[in-house]
Amino acid sequence: MCCVLGLFTELLKRLTKPSGHLIPSMSLLQISEPDVPVSPRLPRAAVGIDLGTTHSLVATVRKRRAEVLVDAQERALLPSVVRYLDAENHKEVGYAALVGAMQDPANTIFSVKRLMGRGRPEKIHAAHAALQWVDMPGMAHIDTVAGVKNPVEVSADILLALRARAEAYFAQQNFTAQATEQMSARLPAVITVPAYFDEPQRQATQDAARLAGLDVLRLLNEPTAAAIAYGLENRMQGCYAVYDLGGGTFDLSVLKYARGVFEVLATGGDSALGGDDVDHLLFDYLMEHIASQEPAFTAPLNAKDQRRVLNEVRRVKEALSEVDEAHFDVTLSTGQHISCPLQIATFARLINPLIQRTLQLTQQVLRDAGLKKTDIDEVLLVGGATRMRVLREAVGAFFHKPPLTHIDPEQIVAIGAAMQADLLVGNRPLSDASQEAGEAASSADNWLLLDVLPLTLGVETFGGLVEKIIPRNTTLPAARSQEFTTFKDGQTGMVIHVVQGERELVKDCRSLGRFELQGIPPMAAGLARIRVTYQVDADGLLYVSAREQRSGVQASITVKSSYGLSDEAVYSMLEESFAAASSDMHTRALREQQIEAERFLEITDAALAENADLLNDAERAQVQASLQALRALKDGTDRDALAAALKAAEQATEAFAERCLTQNVRQALDSKKHTDAKT
């Protein structure tokens, strides 16, 4: 052993001896005593996140299996809803925010994904009707009780809730000490975005992730993530059409999977088309129907009633995936009661224009990929909106084959993202160790992902025209260069205007940024040679540089739209979030306790109203006293006292609950006997 160590030491000396030459990189071998097993490298914690319009999810790979992480109530979906509570920036996220949405719509933000990387919308969507908008340059700004918020900050709050769920899971699983150390800094994550998200929208997503303390390994297109999950699970090869209709976006991607390589052939879609638009159509239909049937009906609705009706609309939409007729049934704050039926045929007629828009985009993507419908081996449905029965039937008829639906369409994107994250952090078991453990080799151990650019990138030339540098559907990462020259004699500077879009005029495309190239040597027009280079990384983020070839002067820009946040702004918000972290955790726990108390009081009050005769006077007085004590603490800030009061109330009503259950069982049996006797 000493001899081996001596040789190893001498080798290190030679490698580190100054020689003026570069030394090729070498793999260092681990040296150990004979018969001493080598400890395998501990797996790294990493997650995949589906940041959705209506719901978001987080998943991870544990023991080579991808799983979606759930909350304490075993719920996988986190509603993408944030409610701001006060000027101290206390907030609720997810189900807790939903509870108070109808009472506080102006401070409850839904469907924030529609606003990512965008200014204030000209046409206000129903989900945003109650918000108070602030006229500020750049990204959309919303006035709340906690101050002015933008979509990046709201999305960061959603991502923070998902990160907390992941951290709780890793701690419970006792993942590794290394994983715990990572989470104290930044948790590695792959975050999915719609394939048709442009540069500002992708950059806004990056900003939100940074603000939430995530290390973004990659931004992954949602259809691609779905194909990863389907392809690896079923070991299928061939061409896929991934039809992804979420709450606020539609994407169609055509991918080819063969020999462990995913290649995106073409992608297209609409970043402002989704299940929310179906809700809006049903909302308008319901208002028109009631106005025609009830002359006394008053419109428009206030913000609270709009939220009530939208909730009912979603319930009816979901019901029509199972039945042929559902009923709207909601009472407004004015006391007016809205009730009307909706047949599946009427529902299909209402949403058919939206479905046809998606199929027109689908046809365009197939043309871009150079394929026919018959070339598609499988059609994958992704996104919660694809649960609609009429949509599944329409997609099946378009492709002349039933789509795949055996993986939950709301979870598949997060699963694929988790697989990609696991690959990027290097969690691949040693082949020898796998063989010894008796594990079969998996195609998941070795695969490559080739994504594409969703929209064309170009530069403005004289006359407001667009010179296209990297066309859409180019495989990523990509780099392209093109030479330009000066227009005037003696010109010493040039403005490089970067745009994105498919149109020929700059005014019809989206401006991504400008930078100046100064110091060009004076010369006659047309003699200067300016080489402009566009580089797009695997996340779809753009870097542009310009260099005058004769003099060597150059300039560059990392494209960050004015809709994004500066590094200083992100850093400032990070500091604020860190300072408020402890307070936010306390507020969240208190609010969860309050919600539990509210639900308990509501259920118990209803039971007393129906079965008060099951208690004698003394028992009734004891129950009422416990409920009164709970009500007195429900809106306070003492979480421990509230928990104690809730426990006392549960104990005081335990006997009453048992009697109610016994009576319900007895009534059900009596009803059955009566029915049998009639028969």
pLDDT of residue 573: 55
Strand 337-343 with 325-331, pairing: antiparallel
Which residues 6+ apart lie within 8 Å of 107 measured at CB? Answer: 83, 84, 85, 144, 145, 146
CA distance 607 to 187: 46
Strand 465-470 with 478-484, pairing: unpaired
CA distance 380 to 360: 17
Q: Does residue 113 have an active-site annotation? A: yes
- In degrees and rounded to multiples of 5, residue 367 shows phi and psi of -65, -40
Other C-beta atoms lying within 10 Å of the C-beta of residue 614 = 18
Q: Which of 50, 153, 312, 422 is catalytic?
A: 50
CA distance 334 to 214: 46
Percent of the chain as helix, strand, coil, to the nearest 5: 45, 25, 35
Which residues 6+ apart lie within 8 Å of 362 measured at CB? Answer: 241, 243, 252, 268, 398
Q: Which of 113, 149, 560, 634 is catalytic?
A: 113
pLDDT of residue 227: 81
The angle at the Cα of 104, spanning 99 to 107, to the nearest 5 degrees, equals 110
Is residue 78 within 8 Å of residue 57, measured between CB atoms? yes
Is residue 71 packed enough to be buried (19+ CB in 10 Å), middle (13-18) or exposed (0-12)?
middle
The angle at the Cα of 120, spanning 99 to 224, to the nearest 5 degrees, equals 75
Q: Does residue 244 have an active-site annotation? A: yes
Q: Helices in 217-330 by DSSP H: which ranges?
A: 222-234, 275-293, 303-319
pLDDT of residue 173: 76
Strand 187-193 with 47-50, pairing: parallel
pLDDT of residue 671: 66
Strand 82-84 with 65-68, pairing: unpaired
Which residues 6+ apart lie within 8 Å of 415 measured at CB? Answer: 48, 59, 66, 67, 68, 225, 229, 407
Q: Which of 104, 199, 222, 539 is catalytic?
A: 222
Q: Which of 244, 378, 422, 548 is catalytic?
A: 244
Is residue 60 within 8 Å of residue 69, measured between CB atoms? yes
Q: Does residue 50 have an active-site annotation? A: yes
Instruction: List Cα–Cα distances, 81 to 51, 224, 258, 356, 530, in angstroms.
Output: 11, 26, 39, 29, 48
Mean pLDDT per 10-residue segment, the chain (679 residues): 40 38 35 42 83 93 89 92 91 89 87 86 73 86 93 95 92 62 72 84 90 91 84 67 87 81 82 85 86 70 82 89 89 81 92 93 91 92 90 95 86 92 74 32 51 83 84 85 85 88 80 86 86 84 86 79 56 57 64 79 85 84 89 86 89 85 74 58
CA distance 214 to 337: 46
Strand 147-149 with 141-144, pairing: antiparallel
Q: What is the Cβ-side half-sphere exposure of residue 99, based on CA atoms within 13 angstroms? A: 16
Buried b (16+ CB within 10 A) or exposed e, 185-213: eebbbbbbbbbbbbbbbbbbbbbbbbbbb
